[in-house]
Homo-oligomer: A and B are copies of this chain.
Amino acid sequence: MSKHRPTIADIARRAGVSKVAVSYALNDRPGVSPATRASIKAIAQEIGWRPNSAARALTHARADTVGLALSRPARMLGVEPFFMELISGIETELSARGCALLLQVVTDPAQELEMYRRWWGEGRVDGVFLADVRSPDPRIEGIAELGMPAVVIGHPSAAGTLTPVWSDDSAALRDTLTYLAALGHRSVARVAGLPELIHTQLRDRAQREISAGLGLDEPVVVHTDYSGEEGAHATRRLISSATRPTAVIYDNDIMAVAGLSVAQEMGLDVPADLSLVAWDDSQLSRVVRPPLTALSRDIPAYGSHAARTLLAMVADGSAPGFEDAAARLVPRGSTAPPR
């Protein structure tokens, strides 16, 4: 028996028709009698025929694949559940539509753009996701120039001419600060992520404005690389500063856990001496003691929305942006009125 994968020509030979008839039959297009169609389909089934994706891509200029390149170092990616959950949500949507995901981990945004150029030039993808938007971000303009469908996972103000899918961080922050203010906190610091990311900058600004609006102290914001080490270090600095805050918001949960450990090690009682809030919830927030009050979002759903938007863009040439639900504050044991 022959090694090569069956083609429509093989089916045509066995069915005694031309390969065109086979193509029509298998694609449920008119032009073949029901009997012929059935027998062709039966043969295809029997010999295990699958359409060659390259041949298909060649004719309709469709790759049925979208791309995602991530430019954070491996150890950062590993520790943040965010991306894995996002990817898995993206997948859910894509696989339902028979679309594949091409993934690439690169070291910097310039490489990422180069990757996208290559994928697009080679016709490997029909569109891409863009995460971790910076300011300024050459990827935005680069992709717009290519005319490649792209969805920005981030706020519209960062998306340029591309289509954004985002959630309202400032609403989430408002809820959190209002809650902390109601508990009696006046000095709320934040251990933030990478300062060059637009979403960090938006959170920074929102925090200043909302704090001012609520009559809280001007917030101290410490920027980090999202690692536990820097989260711990930042917490140590905040605790030992002259104006020690009574509450700290962390931009991810690994830093919040690190902060909790540091606080306890320095003899502080959480939440009595220091309240902690983690931005983005995961199992981690629930397994430590006290469990962490967290800003919880359905990240897989966020990914699904992004994927749906991108597929719509690929199909129709454009699609409206999508605002996902804001993160929901889940109070747990790490927040309380200050002593």
Contact = CB atoms under 8 A, between A and B. Distances in A.
A95 B103 contact: no
Interface stretch (A12-20, A34-42, A79-87, A319-327): A79-87
Contacts of A82: 78
Contacts of A95: 104-106, 115
Contacts of A300: 74
Contact of A89 (B55, B74, B231, B261): B74
A97 interface: no
A274 to B, nearest CB: 15
Contacts of A33: none
A82 B79 CA distance: 9
Given A87-B105, A254-B284, A50 B122 contact: yes
Interface in A56-84: 56-58, 63, 65, 74-75, 77-79, 81-84
Contacts of A261: 287-289
A284 B124 contact: no
A104 B121 contact: no
Interface residues of A toward B: which range? 35 or more
| Chain A, interface SS category | helix
Interface centre among A52, A77, A254 (most CB of B within 10 A): A52
Interface of A: 3, 5, 48-58, 63, 65, 74-75, 77-79, 81-85, 87-89, 91-92, 95, 100-106, 115, 118, 121-124, 147, 227-229, 231-232, 254, 257-258, 261, 264-265, 282-284, 286-289, 299-300
Residue among A49, A54, A254 with max Cβ neighbours from chain B (10 Å): A54
Contacts of A79: 81, 282-284
B229 A286 contact: yes
A282 B227 CA distance: 11
A308 to B, nearest CB: 16
Nearest to A50: B121
Contacts of A286: 228-229
Nearest to A254: B283
Contacts of A299: 78
15 contacts: A3-B147, A50-B122, A53-B57, A54-B58, A54-B123, A74-B85, A75-B282, A78-B84, A91-B104, A91-B105, A100-B124, A228-B286, A229-B287, A257-B284, A264-B289
A141 to B, nearest CB: 16
Contacts of A84: 74, 77-78, 83-84
A106 B94 CA distance: 11
A74, A101, A227, A287 — which one has the most chain B CB atoms within 10 A of its CB? A287
Nearest to A65: B102
Contacts of A87: 103, 105
Contacts of A83: 84
A147 B1 CA distance: 13
Contact of A287 (B53, B91, B232, B283): B232
